[in-house]
């Protein structure tokens, strides 16, 4: 181990470094004895052999350039074979701060859980040896490094203090195992409020679980908002606490950013622990642009531990929902560009984190979809959600009966339609057949896992508008029922990236506070729930409401369990080379053997240097 200018250089096999002086001696020998001599052919060595033998060039040895080149090559190869590398004197620690929604809960009188976690992390970093380096991660949507690798303690402290509260669920369960298995980290320090399972304290994985007082885990949160066709807001409220409590649900609606607000009539709710309570709120005006609803516990002896999830937002501005298309044909070929009520994107362009409603054209999803889905004309024998069934025999093309009360069939008279090709369907158990032919049901609609779906056993596309009014109205009804039933609010988790129509030129939060958003192409990265105003090219403004309904995070009384990976054997970069380094050593060894064989060949065959 050698230290030069503060950098420590060491080798995995230091004894191999002895080969360097050996190589020097070896080269000097062969250059002196063999290398510099000129060959001369003589008729016979009959008399020359009797002369006193003296090696040639002994006194006049001047190493040629080739000598130095070969010495350099041998030295470098020996250094590589010995596994020479720059060693760090300190450990490299991955600091993972859980900044998920639940970490925004109040923690006694000392701020939030996140701030408490930062305090503990700060203490840990300050106590660690000064040679330790850090990489700080935040457990938000992805395990995002907040810092550059190998930050010093001072830099790491600054980074930890700068960790921002997120409104999303944490991803510790998905990424912690890979982080622990990463050999570039000597230790992983985790700061979280989650319940730990299988935790075996080790030097490799240190999890700091924030001690939580159960009495400070009471929380009420908005679980969902929906606009009924009557204009009434249906608000779903969740509650986590020891006993039923009263809460006040109120809110206000706005016409625009500068317009006056109209308060929603407050309602008192009786919240039951671990049960959702639904309450209607009716705006006094019908032409509201967006609304905010708010839940507040009434019991003065309690405090709502997590205020971040007490608000919900909904926008009334009709927008074109983005729909993903899974088809061998383009949206243009299917005529979907003529449909003004949806915006179609292809699957390849879709952000993987974004769950868009989807149209499956002549194909079926292989799993039960979690978003609204329209399955059009699935292949023969293909079952929805995967699998196949034997092909049916005769297929009737005549519609025999239908469920006229279903919204999809509103204003539609199927008896007027003769389909060129019809495939009777095997409807899923949760589906209701809404259209029948002589061969069986040809359209099924249903709801599963909170997402609506519609399967048609006939072709809807290409969309021809007024040229084929019955099918067109059926298609538009289907789009409305599937993709616009939840109003304009994006329900569920807060997306990390949101695609917008290309006509949008400006976007920015107007509630809860004004914040300009940067348009990256035609998408934005919303950091928090709220209402976003979208400015169109023609100057018209539209509103987009974003919420973060994360029950796992909001229900503080039921802490989600974090199953920890088994502690891996301690693997330190300071004591053993990585796989790539081992490969380099093997390759260097091969090169060294080749050069060694060449030098030996020169000696045995008396090859002059430069003749090889």
Partner 1 sequence: MALDARTLRLLDTFALRTRRSFYGARQGTHRSQRRGHGVEFAEYRSYELGDNPRYIDWNLYARSDKIYVKRYLEEETVSVFMVIDGSRSLTHPALQLKWHAAANLTTCASYIALASHDPVTVSVLGGHQSPQFWGPRSFAPLGAFLDSEGKHLIEGAPAKIDIVEAARIAATRVRFPGICVVISDFLYPLEEVVTMLSSFRSRNMEIHAVQMLGAQDIDPNPASGGSTLVDSETGEEIGLSLDPSAREHYARKLKEHTEAIRQHCLSAQIHFVPAVAREPLAENSISILSEMGLFV
Interaction site with partner 1 (CB under 8 A):
33-34, 36-58, 60, 606
Report the candidate in 375, 371, 373 with the shortest Cα–Cα distance to residue 495.
Answer: 371
Classify 266 as helix, strand or coil: strand
Pairs from 449-453 (Cβ < 8 Å, separation ≥ 24): 449/368, 449/369, 449/370, 450/370, 451/369, 451/370, 451/371, 451/372, 451/373, 452/372, 452/373, 452/481, 452/482, 452/485, 453/369, 453/372, 453/373, 453/374, 453/375, 453/384, 453/482
CA–CA dist 306, 293 (Å, integer): 16
CA 43 vs CA 20, 37, 535: distances in Å = 42, 19, 100
- Residue with smaller CB distance to partner 1, 49 or 516: 49
Minimum distance of partner 1 from residue 572's CB (angstroms):
54
- Residue with smaller CB distance to partner 1, 199 or 609: 609
CA–CA dist 502, 345 (Å, integer): 12
- Residue with smaller CB distance to partner 1, 52 or 393: 52
- Residue with smaller CB distance to partner 1, 37 or 417: 37
Minimum distance of partner 1 from residue 184's CB (angstroms):
55
- Residue with smaller CB distance to partner 1, 35 or 487: 35
CA–CA dist 149, 96 (Å, integer): 13
Minimum distance of partner 1 from residue 75's CB (angstroms):
28
Q: What are phi and psi of 588, to 5 degrees?
A: -65, -35
Residue recorded with tokens 């049916």: 392
- Residue with smaller CB distance to partner 1, 568 or 607: 607
Minimum distance of partner 1 from residue 599's CB (angstroms):
17
Minimum distance of partner 1 from residue 55's CB (angstroms):
5
Minimum distance of partner 1 from residue 44's CB (angstroms):
4
CA–CA dist 232, 283 (Å, integer): 7
**Tokens for 39?**
């060959």
- Residue with smaller CB distance to partner 1, 236 or 608: 608
Minimum distance of partner 1 from residue 601's CB (angstroms):
15
Q: 536 — alpha (psi -120 to 50), left (phi > 0) or beta?
A: beta
Number of Cβ within a 10 Å radius of residue 130 = 9
- Residue with smaller CB distance to partner 1, 66 or 337: 66
Minimum distance of partner 1 from residue 6's CB (angstroms):
49
- Residue with smaller CB distance to partner 1, 51 or 65: 51
Which DSSP letter does residue 341 get?
Answer: T
Torsion of CA 522, 525, 530, 536, to 10 degrees: -10
Measured between its terminal Cα atoms, the distance across the chain in Å is 38
Minimum distance of partner 1 from residue 594's CB (angstroms):
26
């Amino acid at each position: 181990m050698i230290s030069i200018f503060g950098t420590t250089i060491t080798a995995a096999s230091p004894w191999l470094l002895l080969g360097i002086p050996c190589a020097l001696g070896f080269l000097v020998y062969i250059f002196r004895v063999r290398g510099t001599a000129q060959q001369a052919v003589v008729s016979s060595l009959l008399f020359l052999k009797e002369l006193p033998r003296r090696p040639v060039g002994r006194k006049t040895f001047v190493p040629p350039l080739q000598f130095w080149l070969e010495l350099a090559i041998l030295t470098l190869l020996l250094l590589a074979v010995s596994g020479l590398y720059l060693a760090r004197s300190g450990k490299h620690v991955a600091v993972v701060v859980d900044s998920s929604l639940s970490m925004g809960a109040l923690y006694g009188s000392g701020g939030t859980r996140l701030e408490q976690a930062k305090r503990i992390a700060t203490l840990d970093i300050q106590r660690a040896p000064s040679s330790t380096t850090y990489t700080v991660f935040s457990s938000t949507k992805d395990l995002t490094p907040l810092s550059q690798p190998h930050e010093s303690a001072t830099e790491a402290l600054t980074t930890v203090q700068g960790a921002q509260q997120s409104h999303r669920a944490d991803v510790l369960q998905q990424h912690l195992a890979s982080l622990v298995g990463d050999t570039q980290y000597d230790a992983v320090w985790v700061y979280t409020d989650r319940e730990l399972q299988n935790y075996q304290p080790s030097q490799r994985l240190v999890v700091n679980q924030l001690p939580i007082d159960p009495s400070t885990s009471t929380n009420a949160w908005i679980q969902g908002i929906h606009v009924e066709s009557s204009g009434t807001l249906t608000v779903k409220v969740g509650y986590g606490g020891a006993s039923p409590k009263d809460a006040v649900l109120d809110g206000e609606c706005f016409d625009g950013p500068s317009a006056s607000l109209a308060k929603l009539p407050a309602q008192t709710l009786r919240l039951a622990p671990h049960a959702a309570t639904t309450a209607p709120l009716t705006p006094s005006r019908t032409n509201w642009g967006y609304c905010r609803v708010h839940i507040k516990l009434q019991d003065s002896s309690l405090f709502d531990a997590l205020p971040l999830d007490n608000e919900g937002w909904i926008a009334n501005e009709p927008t074109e929902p983005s729909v993903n298309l899974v088809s061998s044909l383009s949206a243009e070929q299917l005529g979907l560009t003529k449909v003004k009520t949806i915006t179609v994107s292809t699957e390849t362009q879709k952000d993987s984190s974004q769950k868009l409603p989807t149209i499956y054209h002549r194909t079926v999803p292989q799993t039960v979809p979690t978003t609204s889905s329209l399955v059009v004309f699935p292949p023969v024998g293909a079952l929805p959600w995967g699998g196949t069934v034997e092909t049916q025999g005769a297929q009737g093309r005549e519609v025999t009966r239908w469920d006229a009360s279903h919204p999809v069939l509103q204003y539609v008279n199927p008896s007027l339609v003769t389909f060129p090709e019809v495939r009777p369907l095997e409807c899923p158990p949760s589906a209701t057949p809404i259209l029948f032919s002589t061969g069986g049901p040809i359209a099924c609609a249903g709801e599963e896992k909170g997402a609506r779906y519609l399967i048609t056993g006939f072709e809807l596309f290409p969309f021809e508008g007024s040229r084929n009014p019955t099918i067109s109205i059926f298609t538009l009804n289907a789009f409305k029922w599937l993709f616009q039933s939840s109003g304009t609010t994006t329900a569920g988790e807060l997306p990390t990236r949101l695609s917008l129509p290309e006509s949008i030129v400006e976007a920015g939060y107007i509630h809860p506070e004004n914040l300009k958003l940067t348009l990256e192409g035609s998408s934005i990265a919303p950091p928090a729930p709220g209402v976003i105003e979208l400015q169109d090219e023609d100057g018209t403004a539209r509103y987009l409401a974003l919420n973060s309904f994360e029950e796992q995070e909001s229900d503080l009384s039921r802490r989600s369990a974090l199953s920890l990976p088994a502690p891996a054997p301690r693997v330190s970069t300071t004591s053993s080379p990585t796989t790539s380094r081992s490969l380099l050593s093997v390759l260097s060894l091969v090169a060294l053997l080749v050069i060694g064989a060449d030098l030996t060949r020169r000696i045995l065959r008396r090859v002059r240097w430069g003749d090889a």
